[in-house]
Structure 1
Amino acid sequence: MNREFLEYVLQFLSDNKQDLFHEIIEQRTRYATVVLEDLYQPHNASAVMRSCDCFGIQDVHVIEKRNKWSTSPDVEQGSSKWINIKRYNTPGKNNTIECLQTLKGKGYKLVATTPHTEMTINTLPIDEPVALIFGTEKSGVSSDVLDQSDYHIKIPMYGFTESFNISVAAAICMHTIRERLKDSELTWQLSENEKIETMLHWCSKTLDRYEKYEKVFLERHKP
């Protein structure tokens, strides 16, 4: 039914938009995902989301502890409507552990970014799906992340400063992983069902009358 509905609702988009959807969906991936732990600067959060869309990373997992998730529309440039954002913000709960356990349950290897390690993003094993975890601007990832992660990685640096800004670090890591996936024989693209679900999500964010189209379609296809 989802496939039929997608074919129905796509007709309300321009030909150019339809072509763009079909082109971009082939570059989307969940093989790599991004985790943001307790960011407090909206412009950094927004820049990471924008990079996720640009590099075809479909899912972003947001851990909220002391800091509530907040973004900057001027920096984000509408990128959040093209990706899926999962927030972990239950009061009184260890939201970091909840997020990490969820990702492990989905088969991801957890990858903590920290300058205090020898493995780099270039040598990180990618034979299994990876979740790239980035921490708060001042202190980096938490001890929970460091303890639970399968790998600790750093970005090679050649200057005096110890680390990159988080949005820069995330962009470098995503670019490196995408290039490595592109050059591999791994199946990193979305499944057919995931492609349909994702394109429907995009349609819902693009068409003002999406809910009306959905209602009409369901009425026509009643058992």
Structure 2
Amino acid sequence: MSPLRAEFTKLRTLRSTAWLPVVAAATTVGLSAVVCAVAVTGDPIRLVLSGVTLGQVPLVAAATLAITGEYQTGLIRPTLTATPQRLVLFAAKILALVATILPFCLLGVVAALLAGDAILADFSPADGATLRAAGGAVGYLGLVALMTFGLATAIRGTAPALLTVLALLFLTPQLAQLVTAEPWHTRLEKYAPMNAGLAVLGAYGGAALVLGAVLFVRRDA
């Protein structure tokens, strides 16, 4: 069995990772529908895509468990025995993760658009700005998952990795509000992962994957 097929099979068959993308999609559309239903005013696109904020949490958990679960169970040793080329294995894990979660990211965002169309009178899911924002939301979720996987590979532990990523996502913007000294306030606010554009988030994800790959190759299992 090829490394990619083996990794994809593991993600699909392990309960710890198989159901989390489903939860992510359901959370995204569910929260978006609730926000659209109760909001009195606000940008319709922001309202419709508001569920992405919490929808990313199950994806963070899935991307973390995709690697830390193997270290916790000891499965990483037979995995490395079967595929001793560690960079090949690392790449296979990344591709399998993306192939597993991306359809659910797309499903959650599309369902949120349809829910917004049904609830909001002044919202059009086919509008150009809406489609660009929706594409950006899917890209954001994918990049967060990749950043998480890279950091989780470097950290190895499930709880420390989860806390690190969730702190980066949710606490960094709050820290920016506490820092009043310029230019640090502006920098923290602008470059916090949840506020940064896809290019900056992609840089975060790339750096995390490089760090994870280097440590995955060099450290003992």
TM-score strictly above 0.5: no
TM-score normalized with structure 2 length: 0.26
Say which structure is richer in strand: 1
| TM-score, L = length of structure 1 | 0.25
Higher helix share: 2
